[in-house]
Structure 1
Amino acid sequence: MKISEVAQKYHLTAVTLRYYERAGLIPPVERVGGKRNYRETDLQWIAFIKCMRQVRIPVKTLAEYTKLFMDGCQTKPLRRKILSDELARLTCQKQDLQATINQLQQKLSAYDRGEID
């Protein structure tokens, strides 16, 4: 699949896709005649990285994860720890976000009941 097709499919720019590869967020993409040829495994990496970046997992962390993946099976425990640490961080953020949502809902309900001028 061409870079333009991948960009369209994932709502990214070609610049972003090239950056993902250059920064080590995804493994190197096969090239045919100097042009990137994205395969299914590349698309899976892109979907994963896009999802992780949406929740602000740092580029450095994702690059480390990708490097460990490329280093082979012996890095499985380290890769799992990276994902586990990020899940714990996101779970805390989710709790904080839920507390804020609850506060806003209470405040809006007070407005609706006419308790706030």
Structure 2
Amino acid sequence: MKIGEVARRTGLSIDTLRYYEKLGLIDPPWRQGGQRAYDDNIVKWLNFIKLLKATGMPLADVETYARLRREGERSSAARREMLEHQRAVVLAKIAELQECVELLDYKIMNYAEIEARHRAEDGRKDQTHDH
């Protein structure tokens, strides 16, 4: 498939795809009539790269992972270790975000209680003024 199709299917820009090629994250495509041509596996690989980046993995580590991937099965232990490390990073971030959600929930509840008290006080004031 042509680079535009890869961009459309992955949501990455053509410039990003060329940059990834330059960095060695993706193998140089073969040429078909002077244009880049990619096989279907590139979409799965690019989606995996997007996932790694979404986890917060530094681009240098993604580059290392891509290099190890080219080595095949003999690098499986190193790649597994990288993924285990990144998984721990993600779990720590999830725990941090859960604490943030709990604090936000507390603050939201607190403000809702304050607003309810003010409405109740305003309601009592309105009743005393009606008489």
If the length of structure 1 is used for normalisation, what is the TM-score?
Answer: 0.90
Return the alpha-carbon distance in structure 2 between the equivalents of residues 23 and 79 of structure 1.
Answer: 18
1:8 deviation in Å? 1.8
Asked if 1:2 corresponds to 2:17, the answer is no
Map 1:1-117 → 2, pairs under 5 A? 1-114=1-114
If the length of structure 2 is used for normalisation, what is the TM-score?
Answer: 0.81
Number of residues of Structure 1 aligned to a counterpart in Structure 2: 117
Secondary structure in 2 matching 1:27: coil
Secondary structure in 1 matching 2:114: coil
1:72 deviation in Å? 2.0
Q: Which has the larger radius of gyration?
A: 2
- Deviation track 1:60-117 (CA, whole Å, cap 9, x = no partner) reads 1111111111012111101110111111111101100110111011101111111799
1:24 deviation in Å? 1.8
What is the RMSD of the two structures over their aligned residues, measured on CA atoms?
Answer: 1.8
1:30 deviation in Å? 2.6
Question: For the Cα contact (< 8 Å) 1:25–1:59, is it kept in 2?
Answer: no
Detail structure 1 runs of 4+ shifted over 2 Å in the superposition. Answer: 26-31
Letter in 2 for 1:81: E
Question: For the Cα contact (< 8 Å) 1:27–1:66, is it kept in 2?
Answer: no
Question: For the Cα contact (< 8 Å) 1:21–1:27, is it kept in 2?
Answer: yes
Secondary structure in 2 matching 1:17: helix
Q: Which runs of 5+ in 2 are unaligned?
A: 119-131
